[in-house]
Amino acid sequence: MSDLAIRTATPEDVRPLLDFWKSAAEGTSISDDETGVGRLIARDAESVIIAERNGLMVGTVIAGWDGWRCHLYRLAVHPAARRQGVGRALLAAAERRFTELGGRRGDAMVLEHNELGQLAWQAAGYAPEQQWRRWTKPLDQAADREPPTG
């Protein structure tokens, strides 16, 4: 695995990341566009961790830190590079980042139907917390409503 290089993203990575996630990631996000990924890299390029082999992207993880919690997204490994330690190297880099920033616990968002992803997270020592559910609301709907009174 000595030929694996780990680095953080640059603005030039926006389009390659989007293309990579189409082939290597499970599911899509509301932010899967050039504007969303570009904004992330502009705000915190170190949160986007990329694994390369021979100059080609073979894996990614987003290690977001909000000053309180450590969020992991987009752990994706190219199908031809799976089971070769790429995911383990990406998570080690993410966990180092979190520890250096003062983080205490990483949390990962994993689709319920993504069995391969669940196995990868479990192998890395992560476990689901059944008492939690993710609640979401698209923010473009927020402007359409009057604030509650009372």
CA 99 from chain centre, in angstroms, equals: 17
| Per-residue confidence (pLDDT) for residue 142, from 0 to 100 | 54
CATH fit for domain 4-144, picks 3.30.460.80, 3.30.420.130, 3.30.300.30, 3.40.630.30: 3.40.630.30
Tens digits of pLDDT across the chain (150 residues): 469 999 999 999 999 999 999 989 876 677 788 999 999 999 999 999 999 999 999 999 999 999 999 999 999 999 999 999 999 999 999 999 999 999 999 999 888 888 888 999 999 999 988 888 878 788 875 555 555 565
| Per-residue confidence (pLDDT) for residue 34, from 0 to 100 | 94
- Return the domain boundaries, the chain: 4-144
* Cβ atoms of residues 122 and 110 within 8 Å: no
Write the CB contacts of 91 (distance below 8 Å, at least 6 apart in sequence): 61, 72, 75, 124
Cβ neighbours around 63 below 10 Å, total: 27
